[in-house]
Amino acid sequence: MEEKYLAACEYIKNRTKFRPEVAVILGSGLGDFAERFNNAEHVSYKDIPYFPTSTVEGHAGKFVISENVMCMQGRVHYYEGYKMEDVTFAIRVMHIFGIKKIIITNAAGGVNKSFNPGDLMIITDHINMMGTNPLIGKNIDIFGPRFPDMSEAYNKDLIKIAEKCAAENNIETKKGVYISMTGPSFETPAEIKMASILGADAVGMSTVPEVIVANHCGMKVLGISCITNMAAGVSQKPLCHEEVIETGNAVKSKFAVLIQSILDNII
C-alpha cells in the first residue's frame, strides 16, 4: 500500500508546479467552489495510479490545484463498494503531498429539529456508526501511531476561525455533531430517532473515515456540513438525492464566501 500512495502522489506532483499545504474536500453539490481558482491545474482521479473514482452524481472526480489550495471535487464512499483504504486513499496521498490543514465538507441530513435545509453546520465532533474503522489492519507507521488520539478530531482553533469568518460575512452557522452511517439507503425514522438520542445534529454517509485518517496523519481538520434536507421522521416527505444536489446549488454562493474567507485566514 505504501508504494501505491507514493506512486499516486508522485503522479500528482509531476502534473502541477504548485505545492499548497491546505486542502478542501467538496461534498455533493458543492464542487463548483473549486472553479473560482484562476490558473489552477486539474488532475483527474481516473488518471492517477491506484486512485479510486467516484460513481455518484455531484462528484466531478478531479483535483483542482492552485498555488495555495488543493481542492478535491468529489470523493468516493464506502457504499460504492470500496474498501475503507480506498475511501481514505486521497487523505494519505495528500499527507505525502504535504497537506497540513484540511477542510472536509459534506451534504448532510438535519437531525436537529431547529435546523433548516440550506443551513451550514460547523462540525464539533462525530459519531461513527459505519461499523468499521479505516485504521483497522496493520498500522502504516509513516502516517501515524497505532492508537491515534481523537479527543480533538476537529481542530478547535480552526472552528474559532470558521465562526469568526461567518460572523464577519453575516453568515449564520450552526454547530453540532455529525453521525455517519454507511448508506446508500437513507436512514429510517427509527434510526434518526436513535441518532438524536445519541446526540447527533446531522447525519451523512461520508467524512468520518476521512477525518479519522487525517488525524492519524497529524493534519488539522475543519468539518462543515451543508444541511441539504431534513432527515427521515424530522421531515415527512420522501428523501431523494436530487434534493441534496438542488440545495447544494442553492447555497453555493454562501458556502463559497465562507470557505474562501476561512482559507484567507489559514493560508
Tens-digit pLDDT profile for the chain (267 aa)? 899 999 999 999 999 999 999 999 998 778 889 989 989 999 999 999 999 998 776 567 899 999 999 999 989 999 999 999 999 999 999 999 999 999 999 999 999 999 999 999 999 999 999 999 999 999 999 999 999 999 999 999 999 999 999 999 999 999 999 999 999 999 999 999 999 999 999 999 999 999 999 999 999 999 999 999 999 889 777 878 787 778 777 888 999 999 999 999 999
Looking up cell 465562507 gives: 258
Q: Which three cell numbers stand for residue 146?
A: 497505532
Helix (H) or strand (E) holding 65: strand 62-65
CATH number at residue 35: 3.40.50.1580
Q: Are 178 and 203 in contact (CB under 8 A)?
A: yes
Burial 8-28 (b: 16+ CB within 10 A, else e): bbebbbeebeeebbbbbbbbb
Q: Are 45 and 53 in contact (CB under 8 A)?
A: yes
Q: Which domain holds residue 66?
A: 2-266
Q: What is the CA radius of gyration of the chain?
A: 17
- The confidence score (pLDDT) of residue 109 equals 95
DSSP strand pairing (101-110 vs 202-204): antiparallel
Q: How far is CA 152 from CA 170, 211, 212, in A?
A: 27, 11, 11
Burial 49-78 (b: 16+ CB within 10 A, else e): eebbbbebebbbbbbbbbeebbbbbbbbbb
Q: Are 126 and 151 in contact (CB under 8 A)?
A: no
- The confidence score (pLDDT) of residue 57 equals 65
Looking up cell 461499523 gives: 131
- The confidence score (pLDDT) of residue 38 equals 87
- The confidence score (pLDDT) of residue 16 equals 97
Report the number of distinct structural domains present in the chain: 1
- The confidence score (pLDDT) of residue 241 equals 76
Q: Are 123 and 223 in contact (CB under 8 A)?
A: yes
| pTM for this predicted structure | 0.95
- The confidence score (pLDDT) of residue 129 equals 98
* Catalytic positions, written as ranges: 28, 59, 77, 79-80, 107, 205-206, 229, 241
Q: Are 182 and 132 in contact (CB under 8 A)?
A: no
